[in-house]
Amino acid sequence: MKNLLFVLSIIGCILIVLVGHFYYSQKLDSIATHAQEEQISSTSTATTEEVEHEQEPADEEETIAITGILKEATSHKQQGEAINITAFGSVSLSNGIASEKTWPNLMTSALVTSLPEQTLNTTVIDVDDIPTSEVIEGDYVEQVITSNPDLLLFEPFVFNDNGVLSIDDTLYYLEQIITELESKLPETTIVLMPPNPIFKPTFYAQQIEALQDFAEENEYLYANHWQNWPNTDDATISELLENNRPNEQGHQVWADFMVPYLLNE
């Protein structure tokens, strides 16, 4: 009898160990799967942001026709088709600001308010702070081409290149980028614009002047939004910047220029 009880106790212990091992293995698998999902979600990043802006249809008497540069950029579109706008530039497109408060999205929201019944899709391609020489080696231009914009708002990377490349090199690379864009996007209207101004620039101001001369000599559209900022000798311009890039107020100043510029108001 004692032998039987001894054997049964051994069998019971074995069963307990097996059941515990099975449960523990299942628990480990579950933890590993959860950890993998967290790692994937935390390391996934994107350089391209796409936002659709659509407004409820307005009364007929409130409808405003598309005008200005935006009209020219969409002349090939069928009535009612969505307008695709891509903003391509440096970290000045975002600077850590909430997406809806960056100048491209502030601008697009204002355009939709002015153009009832019109859908506008905005894509923002931000290369961060890398110089033009690295932009041209990456896939950023291909991202612009893939976005297939009707209107491309292109901020050349003059600020990023400051102290890294000469303005001659910047313009050399810029010409290559524009040539490729015009070849791959023949129906796209391209508008160049300077990066944001800063307080008392020196060589940077000369580089911006060279950029504007380049645009004029090659007959490119040039949105000189510096006209809407305080003078660069005015210390109050620093109130619109954070780390020499636009803060929320600076983005609003930029957007406030772009809307009438595009609509020729």
Spatial separation of the C-alpha atoms in residues 78 and 67, rounded to whole Å: 15
C-alpha distances in Å from residue 90, one per residue of 6, 54, 77, 129: 77, 26, 29, 6
Q: DSSP alpha helices (H): ranges in the chain?
A: 2-43, 68-73, 103-114, 132-135, 140-147, 158-161, 167-184, 203-217, 248-263
3-state secondary structure of 246: strand
Question: If you search the block for the tokens 């620039």, which residue do you land on?
Answer: 201
CATH class of 47-263: alpha beta
What percentage of residues in the chain have a pLDDT greater than 70?
A: 76
User: Is the distance from CB of 224 to CB of 196 less than 8 angstroms?
Assistant: no
pLDDT at residue 7, rounded to an integer: 45
- At 58, the amino acid letter reads A
> pLDDT-based confidence at 24, cuts 50/70/90?
very low
User: Is the distance from CB of 258 to CB of 155 less than 8 angstroms?
Assistant: no
For 113-146, the pLDDT digits (tens) are 988 778 999 999 999 999 999 999 999 999 999 9
3-state secondary structure of 59: coil
Q: Could you tell me the pTM of the whole model?
A: 0.78
Spatial separation of the C-alpha atoms in residues 148 and 29, rounded to whole Å: 44
pLDDT at residue 19, rounded to an integer: 44
3-state secondary structure of 88: strand
For 229-264, the pLDDT digits (tens) are 999 999 999 999 999 999 999 999 999 999 999 999
For 144-184, the pLDDT digits (tens) are 999 999 999 999 999 999 999 999 999 999 999 999 999 99
Q: Dihedral of CA 142/143/149/152: which sign?
A: negative
> pLDDT-based confidence at 80, cuts 50/70/90?
confident
Spatial separation of the C-alpha atoms in residues 180 and 163, rounded to whole Å: 26
Q: Across the chain, what does the average pLDDT equal?
A: 84
Q: Which long-range contacts (CB under 8 A, 24 or more apart) does 176-180 make?
A: 176/136, 177/132, 177/135, 177/136, 177/141, 178/154, 178/220, 180/141, 180/145
* Pair of tokens at residue 249: 């107020």
Q: What are the extents of the domains in the chain? A: 47-263
Q: Which residue has the higher pLDDT, 47 or 238?
A: 238
Q: Is 86 left (phi over 0), alpha (psi -120 to 50) or beta?
A: beta
C-alpha distances in Å from residue 223, one per residue of 50, 143, 152: 22, 22, 12
Q: Which residue has the higher pLDDT, 78 or 240?
A: 240
